[in-house]
Structure 1
Amino acid sequence: MNGVELFLLGRALMKIGEDALPEPPGGAARYAGSTRTVLVVASDIAAHPDTAVGEIAARTGLPQSQVSTAVARLKEAGSVLTDTDPTDRRRMLVRQAPQPSARVTEIRATDVTEALAAALGTTDPVRLREVSAALETLARAFAHRP
């Protein structure tokens, strides 16, 4: 595998992940690109608690406006909490909520089998188990990496 193939695989896996996510509440449209942004921001917040929006933007390479929007969505969903920075009252610090929200719990419990079957073009249970096992191996290998 070369770098291009790895990049394309990553893109394909992101698409499968997006397809597996449950529909947003209230009949809202799927978020596509912004889903990735929210997930990137959420994972950065998990790795860097009590962090400012500007710091998240610097670490992720996302525009500050997109980070602010993602933080607002995460806050609305009950996934993060914000507080004014005591050392600089102009900044907000963001951290994960102590308990996962109902939406986060729903998303984490979502099975990817249907989206994986659609991407593979098969419902063969042996093939699905094989690919799922390979994905679980990769997930464990990269679980503690940024």
Structure 2
Amino acid sequence: MTPVELILLGRALLKIGEQALPEPAGGRTGGERAVVVVMSDIYAHDGTTVTEVARRTGLPQSAVSGAVARLRTAGSVLASPDPADRRRQLLHRNPELTARRREVAAADIAPALTAALAEPTPAALTETLAALETLNRHLTPAPF
């Protein structure tokens, strides 16, 4: 596999993931990728700030602020005043498993994956799901 093929595969997987996400209350608003990236960064860096998330992720601060607002509304992220600078908010993972996090964690990717397969057979789906589980085990941290 070449670097270009890997990048293209990553893009295809992102699209499948977005299609598999259950629609949030109020419908899709776009920016799901940014929300997932921001949430995972906050979960990995408890007590972080919007500025720090933007620096680490490379996302524009406005995109991070929008994602944080959505995550706070959904209850997935909590904020508290920064004792060193009361104007800033420190962001934290909500230790409670919210309804939205439960919904996303329980979502079935099989329909979106089947739609993306060149040959959407049960055998191809099983093989692809197994390959994705292997990649997930070796390459990604737990998001929830």
Q: Scaled by the length of structure 1, what TM-score is found?
A: 0.93
1:48 to 45, 57, 65: 45
Question: Within 2, Cα distance between the matches of 1:143 and 1:99?
Answer: 22
Q: Give deviations 1:124-144, integer Å, cap 9, x for gaps.
A: 111100000000000000133
One-letter code aligned to 1:31 = T
Q: Which residue of 1 aligns with 2:22?
A: 22
Unaligned runs of 5+ in 1: none
Q: Which residue of 1 aligns with 2:141?
A: 144
How far residue 108 of structure 1 moved from its aligned partner, in angstroms, is 0.8
Q: Give deviations 1:53-105, integer Å, cap 9, x for gaps.
A: 00000000111111011000000001010001001111110011011210111
4+ residue stretches of structure 1 with deviation over 6 A? none
Equivalent residue pairs, number = 143
Unaligned runs of 5+ in 2: none
1:31 aligns with 2:1: no
Question: Within 2, Cα distance between the matches of 1:38 and 1:23?
Answer: 14
1:4 aligns with 2:4: yes
Q: Percent identical across equivalent pairs?
A: 57
What SS does structure 1 have at the residue aligned with 2:23? coil
2:61 to 58, 61, 64: 64
The correspondence of residues 85-104 of structure 1 with structure 2, limited to 5 A, is 85-104=82-101
How far residue 2 of structure 1 moved from its aligned partner, in angstroms, is 1.1
Q: Give deviations 1:1-47, integer Å, cap 9, x for gaps.
A: 11111011000000000000111213x2x234x10000000000111
Q: Scaled by the length of structure 2, what TM-score is found?
A: 0.94
